[in-house]
Structure 1
Amino acid sequence: MAEDGVDIANASAPGEGWLTESDFDDLSADDELVLAGIPPPLPLLPVPEHVSQPGDELCHDCSILRLKRSRFIVWPKDPDYGGYVQPDANFIELGNVKDMRQRKNCPFCRLVLQALGGDRVPNIASDGSPVKAQMCWTTDGTRDRNMPWNGRSEIRILRIYGRTGSGGFLGIEEMNLFPDISLLANDFPSEAPAKAQRFLPRPMQPECIDFKVVRRWLAICETNHSKVCGNRANMKQMGWTDPAGAIPDFRFIDLEDRCLVRASGNPRYAALSYVWGREPFFCMTSENLAVLQKPGAFDKEEIWSQIPATIQDAMTVAREIGIRYLWVDSLCIFQDLIDIDNMTGEEEVIMAGKMGAIRMMDSVYGAAYVVICAAGSRSAHSGIMGVRPGTRELMQPIEEIAPGFRLAYRQKSHDGIESFPYFKRGWTYQERHFATRLLTFVNGQVSLRCSSDISFQEDTWDDESVISSKRPPSFAGEGNDIGDGVEGPIQNYSEMQLTKQSDIYNAFAGVARQIRMQLNCDICHGLPVKYFDWLLLWHPLKKEQIRREGAPSWSWSGWQGGAFPRMWDWYTRDMKAIRKALRRRTWIVWYHRHGPHSTRCSLVHKHGRMSEGSKRNFYGGPIRKRFPFDCSQTEPTPRTLTEFEPTEYYFDVISTRPYSGYLQFWTVSAVFEIAETKTPWPEKGGPPPGKQLGIFGKSGDELGLIMVPTSWLKDNPAPCKREFLLICEARDLRVAGRKDMDVDDHEWRYRVMLVQPKAKGEYYERVTIGSIGRGDEMDSFGEGPRWKEFILG
């Protein structure tokens, strides 16, 4: 993209193409014509030599698949032509993975194994059954502008699946997500509809990344959706001020003057997102700042040799895409080791600047023109594969099936991400979350995702039907989708790892602030209060969790490991419908203790009908009679915790009212027996982690199922009788085909929380969540169900 003699598509050296904040403002008519004429796609590269090996021949199982070049095109005469892409169906068995690995001369077997995940794919599944490969024919093509998740059929692809012998799917740790194979673009039939070629995979430059491709992506984004992907929209939405003005001593690396500079005005900059690793490296301190601020500092060998490879390569990336200024935390924030209890005046200034930058990490990354995401770099010393010639180590998965007929696996930027530390670190989550343009380097490749929810990859063409359309922002929290706006961020972040467990709220603060602004409600220890009851119903996601003692047990923040809040799954994604249902399906009035030793409590959430007092429930709905005993007491009684020294939970920086983390409330208490069960788990995806047990009443009837942590069972072996709290009404499963999910039928059940008494019963902690039928509370042991006050920590 060219203006005033600056060509973003070709700028690479310092001083030849720096982009300023005003470069894309006040364009003349001629400029706009130039912008409309985005540089054309680069020509196809030759087919790599490695695609054909001596002795290659399709095995018997693959030869009967009738793979032909013409089958990968949807021809105008085909019934599928122009129709919507259909769900995967008609699966074809390819055989056991172990057997396919023995067919070393079969090019299609090799390609399928690469597409599945290569060496990550096990021969034997965790259930002891052999892992099998399957495929099905499906289609792809032009995205529908009104439904961008769907497309029109223009090419055919082979979708590959890895399945266990018992029919289950492999996890993301063991295989790539939804891999597909199609015809290499070089072998596109000349008589086929020309526009179909852009959906086929293409060869990549083997030695290193071609930054002309990246510059073209940025030109496309800048031209077609600058209002959405420009940082101004995000900054306005989040209420951010420019970091240069809000953070004391905000600095950049100036790649033209090769030194550190203090930010002035509002320069366009790139920000680096990466992992440090355990090995120490060169950082900016108060002692070396004066040297680093001198022009040419980074050209001096004694300094440059100390800059870790990942940061050196990030400087190269920024230069290649025409960005003069780069922000890197280790070189732009003071990293002095300071004794905070004995600070000098100068150290207090340094610490103020450092903490100011840390508190505003969301705006630092959100205000950047582009975030350089070194996701494939395992430490600051690793470098960014593909930036320097000879570092790509890329063997693109292409195989020759017959002369002039090559197939390729269409790689995805998230392939194999489970093996990289970057995608497991809590602090990096919000760095990429707030990026308006995220340039990701992983597996020696680069991809770009922008806020218009459009992705670019090196081995694919650019879908002009999508990139030229006006797109709404994909900023999380937009719209009315509970999955995108609330549950998705919680689920994704809860899986992350933290070096310091005390950072559980700090590293989520920016995302939480965004959720709080979108929902117009507070967040209490990680749970938005407008959806409090149903967000308490989360389950562990992939594996059993470990208790994080510095946060309350009732929140996902109180556990290490992924949490799965799944309203979108068992009810609906519609936030408005959820709020309506909560007004009808709940009865607990939640209070938050100001401190562990304090008797003061405040409502967790105040609805719009507080003047009606006890006539309304926690969400403003009318009080409903549910239980055959007095439930009128809902206000907390003054209680002092005397039998123990209560845990002081981590300060809740994401809340506007950061109280203790101890909830105080009244609800139904009931005692049930948990014991072995033969009832299968009702959900198709299988149960959450833990030991599946049944919940039994005094009649001996099984009332429901529950997944109990095996660590808890070591001290509480089943069968045993334990106390449960009735939390709210909810469903176990969504009723297929039903539009009105709030119909009062037998599918609505009571969600119950198995609790563990602490400090001689002065307070309780959550163990897990289960469900029983409405009315089953009357089948409880002992005195039966009763209305009881609890403190939950």
Structure 2
Amino acid sequence: MEPELCFDCAGITLDALCGPDGYRHLQNAQTISASAARCPLCDLIWKGMNQNRTESSTVDRAPRIAEFVGPKPLTLFGVPIQPPSDSDVAEPQRVDPLMLIGIDAHIPLPSGDDRDIVNLSLFAKHGSKAEASQTVLGRPLLQDAGSEEAFNLLQGWHQTCVANHSECRRLFSTLDMPASDEVSRLPTRVLDVGPPDGSAEPRLYIPDPSSSAGYAALSHCWGKTQILTTRRGNINHHREHVPFSALSRTFQDAVIVTRRLGLRYLWIDSLCIVQDDAADWQRESMKMGRIYQDAAITIAATGAKDGTGGCFIPRSTPWPQVALPCWVNGSPVLGESVYVTLFPDEDVTSLTKAPLGGRAWITQEWMLSRRTIHYTRARMIWACRSALEAEDRDAVAQMDEQWLIKMAGSFKAAKGRLVQGAAPESSDLEDTVDFIANWNALVSTYTSRDLTFASDKPVAIIGLASEIQRGIGETYTAGLFHHGAESWAAATTTPEPASRLATTEIQLLMMQLLWFPKVTVTRPSVLQDQPSWAWTSTMGAIWFHGPVQTSKPLVDSIRVHPGPSPAPPPETAPHITSTTPYIAASWLVVLGGAKVKPLGVTSHGFSSPYQSGAAFVDLFRFQSRSMYLVGGAAVSSQRVLHITDADANPVGWVVFDLGAVPPPAQALYVARVSENEIADRFDGFNVMFLAESAGSADGDSDRRGFTRVGVGEILMAGWFDSVEAEDVFLF
């Protein structure tokens, strides 16, 4: 016999949960531990207080529980399927029907605010009055992601999206023209999975170049276990058949999902690219962006660390389910209950913390896919450009692929109005800057993910960048979006708009050029074809210098040009040859009218503020206020070095690309790029740290060439006064 609810829990009604003051559960939250010993719902809440459900939490929750659970009241609030439209609303608002999916437990803080300490899942049985009336819309987690119920849920998501979501037919490459149908040109090779009943073995199919059909694409971790691959020695055999039994568990599950969705074809990288043919790998890797973008659906084995994991990962025993009396429209429903349980732990539901979420290649796979079904260790998550829904309807943070395509569209529209010389809308300049700022944030995410081969650094995002450049009308070069041969300013003959556009162009390029390492990064030899100013030349996580977003440019122009052909990469570089189109030539960035000043390594001091134990207020002597306003100091962390002159006066700060201060024998230069201001007062120069290049720019011996070695700020207002402006050529 199940234990009965305590007096406080037995009084819970759905209407009370949705009132403006919620349901007062306990007068003293500290009594929850004692009540948990005899009441199943109190026990569930107590377990939830010890559960880590917050992605931002990186510390043990026990001290936090002791801090927040004092002699304060515990209040329960119903959580509807959608939050209130007004994000400034502080209190939950009653809506009809209630459409509840959960219950949040709050306790007051000393500040007077409430804090969620537990998030409970609330659901009703299928076909119940609570579900039919839309009073409770939460769903219980399924026991098996490969069950009939799971496929019914997936098919419902897919059919709804195909039939109703016009936004999900929009492509990065054609932002203004949503695709008219779901049939796309097939990739070079696909796996023909056979009929839905599985009566025929899969086989590798090479379609006619003009063939079109709907297909699925697989996003997965290769891992360290051996998986089946197509090679020159077995491609003809694979064209005859690929035995289902020879496929890894992940591949088998993906075949089953493809069949259940009524699709005939499935694209898997290891089977559809000839893995020991470098030329084939280069050709097909350049098409991967379009492959995922054109797929009818991407199947993501998000929770599997390798091919043995599969999509239908066995699930752990769920949390207990506690029954509550069912109320509909203010009246109890006899013989019916609703059920409360805990949502799964965040470490088995998070997409970013899942094994696949740490793989760099998924950045473009997930971004370009119009719709994706994620199979995590705990639940399925549907993600398309119009909807994001978990199997149990728990809240899922908005994903990159949903907002970036909208921002790309806003960027294109704003750019069009600016170039045409029309009166700009108030948001036009903001829209152009916001798109680049969010692209930079995506790059930071990408660089923090793992790559097996360093040579894949520029390759694993080129598909996404190529599709974006088609859509927004920009040129993508070595991690940088720029305006190509003709600038925006040159497109209009009206002086004032041309001047405004020129400033905007410089601003957007500065935002992308002034990046710095978050961790120790390297410049491996296989990336020697990448220019030093490009983040694609490094391995490791990077971030972008935030104050540049609002700073005043101090250069006349920033131009991107092809430079001299470099030496080919080492023969040991897998997949890459000197004929690879996007790295076949070095590219120059020219800072027109920049001031460059030498900085003596021996006459200046470089020290870590964290190692020297500087007081927090002392950091302001070395870093701009602007840096703190955008969180830059926290981002750079222990990578930042403070600079002092020969008299120990503060000069500024620097983050060197490779971490180490250049040797005394190497001349170090500082190029002024822009100026920060706060309250119309000087707040520091944003600068690049440079070293002289062995070669000269454009073959002209009178023009010095430089390579980039770091980024930082100079806080002395007159530091560049004695320097003449010049064109600075960066290799």
> Normalising by structure 1, what TM-score?
0.61
1:512 lines up with 2:465 in the alignment: yes
1:729 lines up with 2:669 in the alignment: no
Structure 1 equivalent of residue 388 of structure 2: 455
Structure 2 equivalent of residue 184 of structure 1: 122
Structure 2 equivalent of residue 775 of structure 1: 717
- Count of residue correspondences: 588
Structure 2 equivalent of residue 660 of structure 1: 586
1:263 lines up with 2:211 in the alignment: no
1:532 lines up with 2:509 in the alignment: yes
Alignment of 1:213-292 (within 5 A): 213-225=153-165, 227-230=166-169, 248=188, 252-256=192-196, 257-260=200-203, 261-263=205-207, 265-285=211-231, 287-292=233-238
Could you tell me how far 1:160 is from its partner in structure 2? 9.6
Q: Residues 759, 714 of structure 1: CA spacing in aligned structure 2 closer, same or farther, 3 A cutoff?
A: closer
Query: 110, 115, 122: which one pairs with 2:52?
Result: 115
Contact 2:22 2:76 in 1 (8 A): no
Secondary structure at the aligned position of 1:229 is classed as helix
Could you tell me how far 1:526 is from its partner in structure 2? 0.6
Q: Residues 788, 67 of structure 1: CA spacing in aligned structure 2 closer, same or farther, 3 A cutoff?
A: farther
Alignment of 1:479-628 (within 5 A): 479=410, 480=431, 481-482=434-435, 486-529=439-482, 530=505, 531-541=508-518, 543-549=519-525, 550=527, 551-565=530-544, 570=547, 586-587=555-556, 589-590=558-559, 592=561, 594-595=563-564
| CA distance in 1: counterparts of 2:352 and 2:51, whole angstroms | 16
Name the aligned partner's letter for residue 207 of structure 2: A
| CA distance in 1: counterparts of 2:619 and 2:244, whole angstroms | 62
Secondary structure at the aligned position of 1:272 is classed as strand
Could you tell me how far 1:537 is from its partner in structure 2? 1.9
Query: 306, 320, 333: which one pairs with 1:379?
Result: 306
| CA distance in 1: counterparts of 2:177 and 2:30, whole angstroms | 50
| CA distance in 2: counterparts of 1:462 and 1:419, whole angstroms | 16
Name the aligned partner's letter for residue 424 of structure 1: G
| CA distance in 1: counterparts of 2:68 and 2:206, whole angstroms | 57
Name the aligned partner's letter for residue 477 of structure 1: A
Q: Residues 525, 563 of structure 1: CA spacing in aligned structure 2 closer, same or farther, 3 A cutoff?
A: same
Contact 1:502 1:650 in 2 (8 A): no
Name the aligned partner's letter for residue 536 of structure 1: L
| CA distance in 2: counterparts of 1:222 and 1:145, whole angstroms | 27
1:755 lines up with 2:704 in the alignment: no
Structure 2 equivalent of residue 204 of structure 1: 142
Structure 2 equivalent of residue 689 of structure 1: 637
| CA distance in 1: counterparts of 2:694 and 2:10, whole angstroms | 71
Could you tell me how far 1:266 is from its partner in structure 2? 1.9
Question: Unpaired runs of 5+ in structure 1?
Answer: 1-48, 82-91, 162-177, 341-350, 387-391, 573-577, 599-648, 736-743
1:360 lines up with 2:304 in the alignment: no
Structure 2 equivalent of residue 745 of structure 1: 680
Alignment of 1:331-346 (within 5 A): 331-335=271-275, 337-338=276-277
Q: Deviations over 1:259-296 (max 9, x none)?
A: 323436422211111122233333334554454444xx
| CA distance in 2: counterparts of 1:233 and 1:770, whole angstroms | 34
Q: Residues 290, 314 of structure 1: CA spacing in aligned structure 2 closer, same or farther, 3 A cutoff?
A: same
Tell me which moved more, 658-667 or 137-146: 137-146
Q: Deviations over 1:599-634 (max 9, x none)?
A: xxxxxxxxxxxxxxxxxxxxxxxxxxxxxxxxxxxx
Alignment of 1:311-330 (within 5 A): 311-330=251-270
Name the aligned partner's letter for residue 552 of structure 1: P
Q: Deviations over 1:391-420 (max 9, x none)?
A: x22333457599987342277798445554
Q: Tell me how large the CA RMSD over aligned residues is.
A: 5.4
Name the aligned partner's letter for residue 143 of structure 2: Q
| CA distance in 1: counterparts of 2:539 and 2:233, whole angstroms | 38
| CA distance in 2: counterparts of 1:122 and 1:326, whole angstroms | 42
| CA distance in 1: counterparts of 2:642 and 2:252, whole angstroms | 57
Contact 2:219 2:300 in 1 (8 A): yes
- Quick one: percent identity of the two aligned structures? 17
Indicate the structure with greater helix content: 2
| CA distance in 2: counterparts of 1:117 and 1:461, whole angstroms | 13
Secondary structure at the aligned position of 1:694 is classed as strand
Contact 1:253 1:327 in 2 (8 A): no
Name the aligned partner's letter for residue 684 of structure 2: R
Structure 1 equivalent of residue 700 of structure 2: none
Contact 2:589 2:730 in 1 (8 A): yes
Contact 1:667 1:725 in 2 (8 A): yes
Structure 1 equivalent of residue 317 of structure 2: 395
Secondary structure at the aligned position of 2:161 is classed as helix
Alignment of 1:122-133 (within 5 A): 122-123=59-60
Question: Unpaired runs of 5+ in structure 2?
Answer: 70-74, 95-99, 108-115, 326-336, 411-430, 483-504, 568-575, 621-627, 697-703
Query: 307, 313, 329: which one pairs with 2:247?
Result: 307
Q: Deviations over 1:204-243 (max 9, x none)?
A: 3358552111111112212321x22237796686999999
| CA distance in 2: counterparts of 1:182 and 1:712, whole angstroms | 49
Q: Residues 770, 331 of structure 1: CA spacing in aligned structure 2 closer, same or farther, 3 A cutoff?
A: closer
| CA distance in 2: counterparts of 1:262 and 1:546, whole angstroms | 40
Secondary structure at the aligned position of 1:282 is classed as coil
> Normalising by structure 2, what TM-score?
0.65
Structure 2 equivalent of residue 409 of structure 1: 343
Query: 445, 450, 457: which one pairs with 2:379?
Result: 445
| CA distance in 1: counterparts of 2:545 and 2:105, whole angstroms | 27
